[in-house]
Structure formats: structure tokens, C-alpha cells
Amino acid sequence: MRLEDIRQRTRKVPFEPFRVFLSNGQTFDIYHPDQCVGSTGAAHISVPSENGPPHIRDQVTIVSLYHIQKIEPLPTPAAAAGSNGAG
């Protein structure tokens, strides 16, 4: 994976959540652009603690760009059945 690929995803406006797939089978779901920061040779991904609430990120995993196999957009929630989308 290239640094520019990470930056392109995190700087997209509007931001679209995405999933990072690693060569060891591990995945990371990125819901906010500040959750994944690319640097030369690595991506710094903030993750929730195992016992904490999922919206609190208190750990950072540093992943070599070499081990990122692909990035895919996360599925967006579908509108409720019978809904016309009007609020």
C-alpha cells in the first residue's frame, strides 16, 4: 500500500468509513479520518481498548504499509424498509 492511498482515503470530503485488511488477516474499521494517520512506511491506527467503550480510542497500532493488502469502503446502513428517506 502506498502512503498516498491512505492519505487519499482519510482526506476525502465527505469522509467515508473504510476497512483496512492486513496480510495476517487482521482488519481495522476506520470511522473517523483522525483514526488512521499515514506516515512514511507506516499507518498509525487508533483502536478501542478491549474492555472499554467502542467509541473511546486509547491504543495505537502501528502497521507497516507493506502489510496493508487492501482498503475497502465500509457498507453504509440501508434505509429502513418502507422509508422514503424524509426526516
- The three three-digit cell numbers of residue 50, written as one number: 478491549
pLDDT of residue 22: 97
Lateral strand order in the sheet of 57-64? 36-39, 42-48, 57-64
Question: Mean pLDDT lowest for which of 3-12, 41-50, 67-76?
Answer: 41-50
* 80 — pLDDT class (breaks 50, 70, 90): very low
What mean pLDDT value characterizes the chain?
85
Where is average pLDDT lowest: 2-16, 18-32, 44-58? 44-58
Res 58 pLDDT > 80: no
Q: Do 33 and 14 contact (CB within 8 A), yes or no?
A: no
SS3 of 12, please? coil
Nearest CA to 72 out of 26, 34, 24, 20 is that of 20
Q: What's the pLDDT tens digit per position in 60-78?
A: 999 999 999 999 999 876 5
d(CA 41, CA 38): 8
Q: What is the mean pLDDT of residues 27-52?
A: 88
Report all structural domains of the chain as residue ranges with CATH numbers, in order of start: 3-73 (2.30.30)
Four-point Cα dihedral 52, 12, 83, 55, nearest 10: 10
